[in-house]
Amino acid sequence: MIQAKTNDHIPQQKPRKKINANVIIGWSFITIATIMICLFYFYPMIQALIMSFQSGTGTNLTFTGLDNYARLFKDPTFITAVKNTVIYLMIQVPVMILLALFLSVLLNDKRLKFKGFFRTAIFLPCVTSLVAYSVIFKYLFGTDGIVNMMLMKFAFIAEPVQWLTDPFWAKMTIVIAITWRWTGYNMIFYLSSLQNIDHSIYEAAKIDGASAFQQFFKITIPMLKPIILFTSITSTIGTLQLFDEVMNITKGGPGNSTMTISQYIYNLSFKYTPDFGYAATVSYAIVIMIVIFSIIQFKVAGDKNA
């Protein structure tokens, strides 16, 4: 009896997987984007970090170790710029966040008419040119500007306020300018989040006798907590990098009383004798401050992942 031959000893070939054209196209797009990000984002960051340990003018940079970082704590101009930036941060960010919350709650009211107009009007400053609106604010708050004219006309002041030449009022002018521009930006985030909250929650709270004040603090704020944290961090980062408004409205004056860290970096690079190594060191001081303030905000918000 002849036994049938088996092919068990012959290795089985695995079928080749067909490469999908969409996969190739997708990876090509990702690859291009990754290369561009590394080339124009991460590479300059690494180069700036290396440069922060060097000193000199132009291309004649020499390695100096931690000398630039030690210089930060002895530099009175840098300390002044940090103080000014922190003042803007502590005043402007809370005011802007609270104002954006208040406006978003008002504009989310179904009984309000012309909501589209008001939303557009409040958001419109965000899309205006930084230089254009800064120049307009400079003229509005000038000694003979319309702000002083209106305040004197209604007898709020007896003489013009020196908005741009007095250290205190110059800081307030910057705070007013950046609050005017960025409040609508944060308001849009809150408004979109409010529209995703189930209205039945508020109706149940009304039935239980909760006032509008209690609904705001017991329902609205807790529901918006992740968005509030997000906008607080992004606003903090933006304020620590503040440049355009100060440069165009007060130019850092009077007497460096409004100078920010970013403007100081600009001055070190292009206005004073160029010192790119120390300018890179100051820029990394901003990075460290952003990390510290972000961690603080995560901790205050009670985020367990911080």
Contact by Cβ (8 Å): 151, 161:
yes
Task: Quote the CA–CA distance of 297 and 89 in Å, as a whole number.
Answer: 13
* Domain 67-301 homologous superfamily, CATH: MetI-like (1.10.3720.10)
Tell me if residue 265 falls in helix, strand or coil.
Answer: helix
pLDDT per residue as tens digits for the range 121-162: 999 999 989 999 999 999 999 999 999 999 999 989 999 999
Task: Quote the CA–CA distance of 124 and 238 in Å, as a whole number.
Answer: 18
pLDDT per residue as tens digits for the range 284-304: 999 999 999 989 988 887 766
Per-position DSSP letters for 184-199, written without gaps between them: HHHHHHHHHHHTTS-H
Domain locations along the chain: 21-63, 67-301
CA 66 to chain CA centroid, Å, is 29
Does the pLDDT value for residue 197 go beyond 50? yes
pLDDT at 249 (0 to 100): 94
Task: Quote the CA–CA distance of 301 and 49 in Å, as a whole number.
Answer: 31
Contact by Cβ (8 Å): 104, 112:
no
Query: Which residues have a Cβ under 8 Å from the Cβ of 100 and sit 6 or more positions away?
Result: 183, 184, 186, 187, 189, 190, 231
pLDDT per residue as tens digits for the range 88-118: 999 999 999 999 999 999 998 888 888 889 9
pLDDT at 1 (0 to 100): 44
Structure tokens at 235: 């606003």
pLDDT at 110 (0 to 100): 83
pLDDT per residue as tens digits for the range 31-63: 988 999 999 989 999 999 999 998 877 667 888
pLDDT at 50 (0 to 100): 92
Contact by Cβ (8 Å): 224, 194:
yes
Contact by Cβ (8 Å): 164, 173:
yes
Alpha helices in 195-224 (DSSP H): 199-207, 212-215, 221-223
Average pLDDT score, the chain: 88
